[in-house]
Amino acid sequence: MHENESAPRERVLIAGGSSGMGLALAGALLEDGAEVTIVGRSEARLAEARRRLPDTGRLRACAADITCEDEVAGLFGQSGPLDHIAVTAADIEGAYQLLPALELTAVRRAIDSKLVGPLLLAKHGAAVLAPRGSITFTSGIAAYRPTARGAAVAAVNGALAALVRALAVELGPVRVNAVSPGWVDTPIWTYVAGEAKDAMLGAMAERLPVGRVGRAEEIADAIRFLMGNGFVTGTVLHVEGGHRLV
């Protein structure tokens, strides 16, 4: 896709657009000619994202906590009409732990960011979406290839897949899907693995059929596919380098 001045610009809101996969998606959509709003909790991270993204005049940044219903409602009160909503936000710091060390506060943050937040974005965002628009969530490989330490994240990602199916039925013709990344080299691994990040990603790369871990831009491409294909809804698109096979 390339910018076409004669075609209407698509309007996209990305919750979690200040880093990682959301930032990569914002960059790709701006290159496509879209009007993009990135949403995050941190004003500083949003400002840094704006510095890193192309200066097109088509980018807005809004600070909001998607786990707070009043803030989500206010967000869409200001957004105007939209064609697509994408959600890449996740707060899983502390959620990858063996059960004896797993703190309920970390579990609740994961649930709020990856399940409650998407539900609120759909609840309040559906009213401003174009009739043939879309909502795309972000699940993850933990739901399909669970490991020790991953029970909480696996449960949340599995629940999100169920939410996708239910909302696809309720909100149609608006399409609702999720992309499910595998191991992708993004900043979130700093929270998960700390100084062991490079070693962990390297070990996984050797296991995967494709011989490497993913890039944020590849997840962005998958989300753009789900936005653009008008006959896909209620689906989880796996972008994980064959991880489910090994």
Q: Residue 198: its pLDDT value, please?
A: 87
Each residue of 98-143: pLDDT tens digit? 999 999 999 999 999 999 999 999 999 999 999 999 999 999 999 9
Which helix (H) or strand (E) is 82 found in, with range? strand 82-87
Instruction: Using the CB atoms, write b or e for 2-30: b if 16+ within 10 Å.
Output: eeeeeeebbbbbbbbbbbbbbbbbbbbbb
H or E element: which one contains 62? strand 59-63
pLDDT of residue 5: 54
Residues recognised as catalytic: 139
Sign for the pseudo-dihedral over CA of 167, 22, 106, 47: negative
CA–CA dist 102, 152 (Å, integer) = 9
Record the pTM: 0.93
Out of 3.30.590.20, 3.40.50.1970, 3.40.50.720, 3.40.640.10, the CATH code matching 11-239 is 3.40.50.720
Written as one string, the DSSP assignment of 168-179 is HHHHTTSEEEEE
148-198 pLDDT tens trace: 999 999 999 999 999 999 999 999 999 999 999 999 998 777 666 677 888
Q: What is the pLDDT of residue 192?
A: 66
| 179 contacts 136 by C-beta, under 8 angstroms | yes
What tens digit of pLDDT does each residue of 72-95 get?
A: 999 999 999 999 999 999 999 999
How does DSSP classify residue 114? I
Give which of 66, 24, 1, 30 is closest to 184, Cα–Cα.
24
Answer for the pair 59, 50: CB distance below 8 angstroms, yes or no. yes
CA angle 127, 2, 48 (to 5 degrees): 70
